[in-house]
Every structure is written in structure tokens, then in C-alpha cells.
Amino acid sequence: MYDIIAQEPLIAALTALVGLAVVFGAVLGFAAVRFKVEGDPIVDQIDSLLPQTQCGQCGHPGCRPYAEAIANGEAINKCPPGGQTTINALANLLDVPAPELDAEHGVESEVKKVAYIREDECIGCTKCIQACPVDAILGAAKQMHTVIASECTGCDLCVEPCPVDCIDMLPLTPTLADWRWQLPPPTPSLLNRQSKANIIATDRGGSAAA
């Protein structure tokens, strides 16, 4: 054995390397099959950050398709319902700088809205039912329809197809249950402050020089 290695060092080294390559190749090949990840995990992560209104304002038919598009390199600022919070979260996840919301796709609304059907005017055409991405509208042909408010995502996809314009997007009235404290107004910076009583002379900086 040693003799052969000593006599043919080149061949021995090659054999050893090829042998190692075969072994590791087999291990990697096995692992690739055995621990194969189904689907694209990054798409799931992105999807879980999107607001799931399924409104299509981003130009994709639903939140998941947009998540897939983002995974393929599309801009992350096309989701008005999610707003800046969602953009920041996406930027954080993908490790990219957070852009401003793209105004082309709409603006972030201040208050949450839900669809409301003026039931007297509903003619029972079922067009809104077909448009609703989350099956939040209840009704049958020639019967009055109504919106299950708790299921409505406020995507307003049902407003446009209504032939008699009896659907309104009403802002949710805040209740005691969902009221929350607001952040105090930000501490004004020392230099912008009008009252100078609290400022030591050396802090005045620019204004003193001027």
C-alpha cells in the first residue's frame, strides 16, 4: 500500500481526491433529496407580512401573487392597505432600504373601512358576491345581499361591479375596545424651541453666532 503511494504519488493523490469527491457528492445528493424544502419559504414570509386585503391595488390578483412577485425582485412599495408599516417590515425582512409608498398604486387610508350595502336598493344581482375575494358578502340571486362586516377586508372590489351603486365604503367607528393611547407629541428639539429660559447659553449655537 505505502509502496504504491510512494511510487505513484500523483495517482494516489488523484484517487484520494476523486474518492472524497464521490463520497461528498453522494452525501450532498442524498441531502438534497431528503431535506428538500417544498415551495419557496421566502414567499410565505413575505405573504405573512402583507395585509391580506386581496385588493389587487398592487396590480397582482391577490396578496400571494404579489408576494411571489416581490420574491422575484418587484418593488416592495406597492401595497397601499399595508402602508409604510408593511413596507418597513418587508424592507426589514429582505434587508433592503425602505422606500416610500408608491402613490401610483393608491394612498394609505387613515381609517379602516368596510363595505356596506344599502339594502333597500340592492337588486340581488350577485355581482358583488362574485367580486368579493374573501366571501364576505352573503346573499343569493334576487335576494338582498349583505356584508359580514367582521370578514370584510375593505378592499372595495365590490363597489365597482354594483350596477345600482348601493355599496358604500364606510369608515369603521372606533369603539372602546379598539381605542388605544397615542404617542405623545415628539419632544421638540432644543434649537427649535421658542422659550429660551431652559437653554444654557452655549447650547444656542447658530442663533448666538448670528
Partner 1 sequence: MRKIWDIPGGIHPPENKKQSVDQSIGALPLPDRLVLPLNQHIGAPARPVVKPGDRVLKGQVVAEPHGIVSAGVHASTSGVVESISLHPVPHPSAMSSNCIIVRPDGEDRWIEHQGIADYGSRDPQQLLDIIRLSGIAGLGGAGFPASVKLGPRQPIDTLIINGTECEPYITADDMLMRERPGEIVAGIRILAHILGNPANILIGIEDNKPEAYDALEAALASNSSEGSDIELVDFPTKYPSGGEKQLIQILTGKEVPSGKLPAELGIVCHNVGTTQAIYRAIVLGEPLISRITTVTGQSCAINRNYDVLLGTPVRHLLANNGFDADSCPRLIMGGPMMGFTLENPEVPVIKTTNCILAPSREEMPPAPLPQPCIRCGMCAEACPASLLPQQLFWYAQSENFDRLEAHNLFDCIECGACAYVCPSNIPLVQYYRAAKGEIRTLKQEKIKADHSRQRFEFHKERLERAEAEKAAKREARRRATESARARGAEDDSGITASVATSTEASSTAATSPEAKAPEAGTSAAKATVEDIIMAAKARAEARKASPEQRRAALERGIEAARHRLDSTRQKLADGEADNLGEASLDKLRAAVEDARVKLADAEGKLAKLDLPDSNDSDPADSSRDTGSAERVAKKLGDSPRQQLQGKIAAINNRIAVTEQKLAELTDAATLDALRSGLDKQRQKLAEAQQQLSALPVDTAPAPVESPVQDAAAAAITRAREKAARLAQMSPEEKLRSNLDSLVSRLDKARARLATAIAENADHVETLRTTVVNLESKVREAETKLAQGDH
Chain positions contacting partner 1, by CB under 8 A: 47-48, 50-54, 62-64, 85, 132-136, 151, 153, 174-176, 178-184, 186-190, 193, 195, 198
- Select 72 or 189, whichever has its Cβ closest to partner 1: 189
- Select 77 or 153, whichever has its Cβ closest to partner 1: 153
Q: What is the 3-state secondary structure (H, E, C) of 126-190?
A: CHHHHHCCCCCEECCCCCCCEECCCCCCCCCCCCCCCCCCCEEEEECCCCCCCCCCCCCCCCCCH
> Residue type at 60?
H
Closest distance between partner 1 and the C-beta of residue 59, in Å?
17
- Select 4 or 190, whichever has its Cβ closest to partner 1: 190
Q: Which three cell numbers stand for residue 76?
A: 416592495
Q: Which residue carries 367607528 as its cell?
A: 173
Sign of CA dihedral 31, 32, 34, 40: positive
- What span, in angstroms and rounded, lies between the C-alpha atoms of 134 and 65? 15
Closest distance between partner 1 and the C-beta of residue 187, in Å?
5
- Select 198 or 202, whichever has its Cβ closest to partner 1: 198
Beta carbons within 8 Å of 141's beta carbon, 6+ residues apart: 124, 125, 126
- Select 55 or 162, whichever has its Cβ closest to partner 1: 55
Closest distance between partner 1 and the C-beta of residue 135, in Å?
5
Beta carbons within 8 Å of 80's beta carbon, 6+ residues apart: 57, 101, 105, 106, 107, 108, 109
Closest distance between partner 1 and the C-beta of residue 48, in Å?
8
Closest distance between partner 1 and the C-beta of residue 165, in Å?
24
Closest distance between partner 1 and the C-beta of residue 62, in Å?
6
- Select 7 or 187, whichever has its Cβ closest to partner 1: 187
